[in-house]
Amino acid sequence: MARRRTRVLEGEEELMRNLSRIVRKQPQVAARALKKRGDAVMARSQELVPDDPRTQGKDLKASGKTNDAVIGPSKVSVTMHYGANSRAGAYVIPVHEYPAKRPAPWQGASVSFSRGGPKFLERAVLEEAPRLLQELAKDLNVDRWAR
């Protein structure tokens, strides 16, 4: 079996070391910056999320949230999601996962949408990923933390 290779961008290792240093020394600062980046991903996914005016009370767009960052002993994380604690909950997975305009009923949810499309959060994450580290570094003024 072939080993998977990880692509390392020039300067990425040093950037990751500096980001780790910020997380250890200033977790609240890192949490604010990561939340800002999570909000940017969510904003992009809001442009991609299907919207069907016939689904009042199951509105996917309104259910999109970026939680506050969680600070752990050695990491800071943020969660983005759709449908949690809302009536859109049963509707989210079929629409996100089924790549057709008129998905078949799944898990008791009959779904359809007139604009937007599947994989709306995943597509937003993948679109933002190439810029994420650089934008996070800029938000944190990471050069200031270099040894």
Give pLDDT tens digits for 26-45: 999 999 999 999 999 999 99
Per-residue model confidence (pLDDT) at position 132: 86
99 found inside a domain: yes
Spatial distance between the Cα atoms of 118 and 50, rounded to a whole number of angstroms: 7
User: Would you say the C-alpha torsion 61, 44, 134, 33 has a positive or negative sign?
Assistant: negative
pLDDT exceeds cutoff 60 at 147: no
Within 13 Å and on the Cβ side, how many CA atoms surround 77?
A: 6
As a whole number of angstroms, the distance between CA 98 and CA 102 comes to 9
On whether residue 147 sits in a domain, the answer given is: no
Q: What is the pLDDT of residue 100?
A: 59
- Classify residue 121: in a domain, yes or no: yes
pLDDT at site 105: 54
In 1-147, alpha helices (H) = 12-25, 27-48, 60-63, 89-97, 120-140
What does the pLDDT read at residue 29? 92
pLDDT at 70: 96
In a domain, 1, yes or no: no
Distance in angstroms (rounded) separating the CA atoms of residues 129 and 33: 15
Q: The pTM is what? A: 0.77
In a domain, 101, yes or no: yes
For residue 44, the SS3 value is helix
Domain that holds residue 31: 12-142
In a domain, 138, yes or no: yes
Residue 3 pLDDT greater than 70, yes or no: no
**Count of domains observed in the chain:** 1
Q: What is the pLDDT averaged over residues 43-64?
A: 77
* pLDDT 10s digits, 89-145: 677 777 777 655 554 555 455 555 666 778 889 999 999 988 888 888 888 887 776
The pLDDT value given to residue 6: 44
Position 65 pLDDT exceeds 90 = yes
Q: Is residue 5 part of a domain?
A: no
